[in-house]
Amino acid sequence: MALNKGKRARGSNFTKEEELLLVRSVCISWGNYTSKKLKTPMSKRLRQTNSTSKNLFYEKKIMFAEEEIERSRLEQEDILIKRKRDAEKHEWEGELHRKKLELLEIEIKQRMLNN
């Protein structure tokens, strides 16, 4: 096999410079390559649908988290209201008990005086 000066020995018909240019252009085009499947209007619509469905998913997730926060805040308020109501009830029962004891003490003193 005779080798031509300036030609590659692999059987290609390009010189080294031409081959380098081809490799560079192929690399550039492959770097920006998008498959034909992804260039169709249908695939664009699918990508938009996927992105909107992802957005909806995350919006729902955020809404759920906000609802959980609101629910826990309301539960905390309910707990505080119940504690306050229980404290008032306990205080009222304590006063009622003290009044009953005072009345009982007065009644005992009256019985002792009458006997």
Report yes or no: 47 and 40 within 8 Å, Cβ to Cβ.
no
What is the model's pTM?
0.42
**Rounded distance between C-alpha atoms, residue 62 and residue 68, angstroms:** 10
- Give the three-class secondary structure for 64: helix
**Range with the poorest average pLDDT among 41-45, 61-65, 92-96, 102-106:** 41-45
More confident residue, 96 or 36: 96
